[in-house]
Amino acid sequence: MIDLDDLRRRPDIYKKAVKDKGIDVSVDGFLKLDILRQEALQRTEEDRAKKNSVSKRIPVMKGKEKETALAEMKALSGNLKTREDELQTIENSWLEMQLLLPSLPLDRVPRGKDENGNREVKKWGDPSTTLRVTPAQLKDHVAIGEALDIIDIPRGVKVAGARSYFLKGDGARLELALLQFTIDHLLKKKWTLFAPPLMATRECLVGTGFFPGAEEQMYVVDKDRYLIGTSEVSVCSYHKDEVLDVAELPKRYCGFSTCFRREAGTYGKDTKGLYRVHQFQKVEQVVLCEADEEKAMVLFEEIRTNAEEVLHALELPYRVMDICTGEMGRGKVFMQDIETWMPSRNAYGETHSCSYLGDFQARRLNIKYIAENGEKKFVHTLNNTCIASPRILIPLLEIYQNKDGTMTIPKVLRPYMGGQERMIPVSS
């Protein structure tokens, strides 16, 4: 949700944001509806005032005068009901359309329609020096996982359908090690850990900006509850309808949860292996801070760096991409992805996403803080994937595979796996 006063003052800037982000909404259409709502509201209030005025006089009236006033009261009540129904219809459309309006991207965001408009801004590590096998010996993560007996996709599909899998034995232990290492990395920096609800109400999904727009990606539990696709939904909604004190900010939260996505509309895309699955584990960073863009961007660098430090520790090459306007979504004002090198693809694949949303989510969730001057302001929110599995297992397994069929466990994960240094194929 955006600042409507700002929209009314600067409609052309929002029209450009709509065009740049590829959002299907008319700013002019909304402004016309906004005027209609104001006019309907004024008419309703005028009729309500008339009714109240007559209602106050009736108790002291008698005879014919009272009969006339009662008849007038009845007519006014009918007119008021019509006005209220008219206002409600307009207001429903006004609110629905308001939820479609985008936030304004920062000037530094590249303009583009799709992923081809994204811009590489940083690289770390050299993919050409990471492999422990020759190109001819290279196996993808599925073949490695099957040889080590740590991934079983066919039985996952048998149990839960397409895009399902089992991690077993050392595979399950490796995932837990990755998650715990990441959590410990954040806890050392004094982040607050959440194990949030895995379900959220529609109100929270609207509040965090996923609805309207991402309904087809969500698993429905019942009429008003959905399985979360990221703990951002639960953790960001934690302070819904609250007023914080500026001294409490910034709030640095990390949510650890299982996540669920239908991946609707992606049939035939990244279907092989563990890249695009329906259920996964994630450690998500969520930040609430002051309404100050400069301070927020410092925090943006902090949360992206936290994720980069995990990749440094794992010694996985990656690059950072500025995401263009057409790819960043309705609520985001700045976004970067981290893409990790995946040898079997001979390309980088997205493993982390980092977003700054200004006050877009806070307006929807009604999260405010009291500034030093006593003024109430909406907080600004940021979020970042610090680790997500099993997708991170793709580069990990492929880069750490050895010529003898074993897989070396990264040094930083060995303490979480009882000191184990390698995984050995079942045939051995």
Contact between 170 and 406 under an 8 Å Cβ cutoff? The reply is no
Q: How confident is the model at residue 35 (pLDDT cuts 50, 70, 90)?
A: very high
Q: Which tokens belong to 253? A: 């939260």
Q: Is the dihedral of CA 32, 38, 39, 44 positive or negative?
A: positive
For the segment 402-418, the average pLDDT, to the nearest whole number, is: 97
Question: For position 270, what pLDDT does the model report?
Answer: 72
Of 297, 341, 112, 326, give the one whose Cα is nearest residue 305. 297
Q: Is 48 a catalytic residue?
A: no
What pLDDT digit, counting tens, does each position of 314-336 carry?
999 999 999 999 999 999 999 99
pLDDT at 129 over 70: yes
Residue given tokens 């796996």 in the structure block: 417
3-state SS string over 339-391? EEEEHHHCEEEEEEEEEECCCHHHHHHCCEEECCCCCEEECEEEEEEEEEECC
Backbone angles phi, psi at 296, to 5 degrees: -65, -40
What pLDDT digit, counting tens, does each position of 159-178 carry?
999 999 999 999 999 999 99
Q: Is 363 a catalytic residue?
A: no
Other Cβ atoms closer than 10 A to 407? 23
Q: Report d(CA 412, CA 289) in Å as an integer.
A: 32
> With the CA atoms of 148, 149, 151 and 154 taken in that order, what torsion angle do they form, in degrees rounded to the nearest 10?
130
What pLDDT digit, counting tens, does each position of 248-265 carry?
999 999 999 999 999 887
What pLDDT digit, counting tens, does each position of 193-212 carry?
999 999 999 999 999 999 99
Question: For position 428, what pLDDT does the model report?
Answer: 59
Q: Taking the CA atoms of the chain, what radius of gyration do you get in angstroms? A: 27
Q: Report d(CA 6, CA 42) in Å as an integer.
A: 22
Catalytic residue among 262, 276, 319, 345: 276
Cα separation values, 418 from 179, 188, 422, 425, Å: 15, 21, 11, 19
pLDDT at 307 over 80: yes
Q: What is the domain partition of the chain in residue ranges? A: 4-98, 115-423
Q: Is 26 a catalytic residue?
A: no
Catalytic residue among 119, 319, 350, 422: 350
Q: Do strands 199-201 and 225-227 pair parallel, antiparallel, or not at all (unpaired)?
A: antiparallel
For the segment 213-242, the average pLDDT, to the nearest whole number, is: 96
Catalytic residue among 103, 234, 237, 353: 353
Mean pLDDT of the chain: 94
Catalytic residue among 304, 330, 364, 391: 391
What pLDDT digit, counting tens, does each position of 358-395 carry?
999 999 999 999 999 999 999 999 999 999 999 999 99
Question: For position 83, what pLDDT does the model report?
Answer: 86
Question: For position 269, what pLDDT does the model report?
Answer: 65
pLDDT at 123 over 80: yes
pLDDT at 403 over 90: yes
Catalytic residue among 163, 173, 252, 261: 261
Please give the biggest Cα pair distance in the chain. 106
Q: Which CATH class is domain 4-98?
A: mainly alpha
Range in 239-243, 372-376, 423-427 with the lowest mean pLDDT: 423-427
**Residue 381 identity:** T
For the segment 242-250, the average pLDDT, to the nearest whole number, is: 97
Taking the alpha carbons at both ends of the chain, their separation in whole angstroms is 58
3-state SS string over the chain? CCCHHHHHHCHHHHHHHHHHHCCCCCHHHHHHHHHHHHHHHHHHHHHHHHHHHHHHHHHHCCHHHHHHHHHHHHHHHHHHHHHHHHHHHHHHHHHHHHCCCCCCCCCCCCCCCCHHHCEEEEEECCHHHCCCCCHHHCCCHHHHHHHHCCEEHHHHHHHHCCCCCEECCHHHHHHHHHHHHHHHHHHCCCCEEECCCCEEEHHHHHHCCCCCCCHHHCCEEECCEEECCCCHHHHHHHHCCCEEEHHHCCEEEEEEEEEECCCCCCCCCCCCCCCCCCEEEEEEEEEEECCCHHHHHHHHHHHHHHHHHHHHHHCCCEEEEECCHHHHCCCCCEEEEEEEEEHHHCEEEEEEEEEECCCHHHHHHCCEEECCCCCEEECEEEEEEEEEECCCHHHHHHHCECCCCCEECCHHHHHHHCCCCEECCCCC
CATH of range 115-423; options 3.30.930.10, 3.30.390.50, 3.30.160.340, 3.40.190.150: 3.30.930.10
What pLDDT digit, counting tens, does each position of 332-367 carry?
999 999 999 999 999 999 999 999 999 999 999 999
